[in-house]
Amino acid sequence: MNATLPPASSVAVAEAEFTLSSADFERIRQLIYQRAGISLHAGKQAMVYSRLSRRLRETGQRSFGDYLQGLERGGSDSEWQEFINCLTTNLTAFFREEHHFHALVEDLRARASRPMRIWCNAASTGEEPYSLAMTVLETLGVSAQVKLVCSDIDTKVLATAQRGVYAADARGLSPERLRRHFMRGTAQNVGFIRVKPELSRLIEFRAFNLMSANWSALGEPYDIVFCRNVMIYFDNPTQRKVLERIHAAMKPGGLLYVGHSENFTESRDLFRLRGKTVYERV
Ligand SMILES: C[S@@+](CC[C@H](N)C(=O)[O-])C[C@H]1O[C@@H](n2cnc3c(N)ncnc32)[C@H](O)[C@@H]1O
Q: Is the CB of 209 under 6 A from ligand 1?
A: yes
Residue 146 near residue 129, CB atoms below 8 Å: no
Closest CA to 141 of 112, 172, 117, 102: 112
Residue 215 near residue 248, CB atoms below 8 Å: yes
Residue nearest to ligand 1 atom 26, measured at CA: 90
Backbone angles phi, psi at 61, to 5 degrees: -80, 150
- Cα(154)–Cα(161) distance, integer angstroms: 11
Closest CA to 279 of 159, 103, 125, 151: 103
Q: Is the CB of 132 under 6 A from ligand 1?
A: no
Catalytic residue chosen out of the listed positions 24, 107, 152, 223:
152
Looking at the CA of residue 208, tell me the nearest atom of ligand 1: 21
Measuring CA to CA, how many Å separate 38 from each of 11, 224, 235, 237, 238? 20, 24, 8, 12, 9
Looking at the CA of residue 210, tell me the nearest atom of ligand 1: 20
Mutate to test the pocket of ligand 1, among 33, 84, 88 (most ligand atoms within 8 A of CB): 88
Q: Is the CB of 158 under 6 A from ligand 1?
A: no
User: Could you tell me the mean pLDDT of each successive run of 10 residues in the chain, 282 residues long?
Assistant: 46 67 97 98 94 96 97 96 98 98 98 97 98 98 96 98 98 98 97 97 98 96 98 98 98 98 95 97 98
- Cα(184)–Cα(28) distance, integer angstroms: 42
Q: Positive or negative, the Cα torsion across 248, 250, 254, 257?
A: negative
Q: Is the CB of 125 under 6 A from ligand 1?
A: no
Neighbours of 242 (CB within 10 A): 18
Is position 77 annotated as part of the catalytic site? no
Q: Is the CB of 85 under 6 A from ligand 1?
A: no
Q: Is the CB of 88 under 6 A from ligand 1?
A: yes
Mutate to test the pocket of ligand 1, among 97, 98, 124, 257 (most ligand atoms within 8 A of CB): 124
Measuring CA to CA, how many Å separate 143 from each of 102, 112, 129, 136, 138? 20, 11, 18, 10, 11
pTM: 0.94
Mutate to test the pocket of ligand 1, among 1, 153, 258, 260 (most ligand atoms within 8 A of CB): 153
Is position 66 annotated as part of the catalytic site? no
pLDDT the model gives residue 174: 97
- Cα(239)–Cα(271) distance, integer angstroms: 13
- Strands 271-275 vs 278-281: parallel, antiparallel or unpaired: antiparallel
Ligand 1: centre distance to CA 88 (Å): 7
Closest CA to 120 of 140, 142, 146, 86: 146
pLDDT the model gives residue 6: 46
Q: Is the CB of 100 under 6 A from ligand 1?
A: no
Residue nearest to ligand 1 atom 27, measured at CA: 124
Ligand 1: centre distance to CA 105 (Å): 24
Residue nearest to ligand 1 atom 3, measured at CA: 229
Measuring CA to CA, how many Å separate 98 from each of 17, 118, 159, 277? 43, 18, 25, 12
